[in-house]
């Protein structure tokens, strides 16, 4: 039994305008973010209808579903690269001018974020390689 109510739950996330709704499975025994980005990155989605969260510890996601996982070095590196690339030369908030990141440079900033994010929660799209990793875990839990 988990101390986290949302552990292994299928949860509903919705945009403020109600146009985007997505069910996202928490594949982990841990908390999840209250707000995440929509799949296309165009808007934010909020965890809604908490009372309808469904405990699904043996859920098998489909290809293309999004799920919450703990960042691995690989997923943290990929997300850090995208994040730094987006904000490094931003007109709004140029990361390259920030007193912490400017001396680190782009590569050093990516390394810092990667190191900081390993083990934290993130949302990812399920691909074939991920399903192969999940199946053994799920088979062991059923026994």
- At 32-68, the pLDDT tens digits run 999 999 999 889 999 999 999 999 998 999 999 999 9
Q: Which of 80, 30, 1, 19 is nearest to 11 (CA)?
A: 30
Structure confidence at residue 142 (pLDDT) = 47
What's the whole-model pTM score? 0.84
Average per-residue pLDDT in the chain?
92
Each residue of 92-112: pLDDT tens digit? Answer: 889 999 999 999 999 999 999
Q: How is residue 126 written in tokens?
A: 């399920």
Tell me the sheet residues that pair with 121. Answer: 70
Which residues, in sequence order, are CB contacts of 73 under 8 Å at separation 6+? 114, 118
- In a 10 Å sphere around its CB, with 0-12 CB exposed, 13-18 middle and 19+ buried, how is residue 93 labelled? exposed
Residues sharing a CB contact under 8 Å with residue 106, sequence separation 6 or more, in sequence order: 84, 88, 96
pLDDT digits (tens, 9 = 90+) for 6-33: 999 999 999 999 999 999 999 999 999 9
Cα 120–Cα 43–Cα 30 angle in degrees, nearest 5: 25
Distances (CA, A) of 61 to 28, 41, 66: 13, 21, 8
């Amino acid at each position: 039994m988990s101390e986290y109510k949302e552990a292994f739950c299928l949860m509903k996330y919705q945009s403020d305008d109600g146009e985007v709704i997505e069910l996202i499975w928490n594949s982990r025994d841990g908390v999840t973010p209250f707000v995440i980005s929509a799949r296309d990155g165009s808007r934010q989605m909020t965890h809604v209808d908490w009372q309808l969260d469904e405990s699904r510890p043996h859920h098998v996601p489909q290809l293309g579903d999004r799920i919450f996982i703990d960042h691995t070095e690989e997923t943290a590196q990929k997300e850090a690269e995208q994040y730094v690339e987006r904000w490094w030369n931003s007109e709004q908030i140029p990361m390259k001018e920030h007193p912490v990141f400017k001396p680190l440079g782009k590569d050093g900033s990516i390394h810092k974020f990667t190191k900081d994010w390993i083990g934290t929660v993130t949302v990812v799209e399920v691909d074939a390689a991920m399903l192969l990793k999940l199946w053994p875990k799920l088979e062991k839990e059923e026994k």
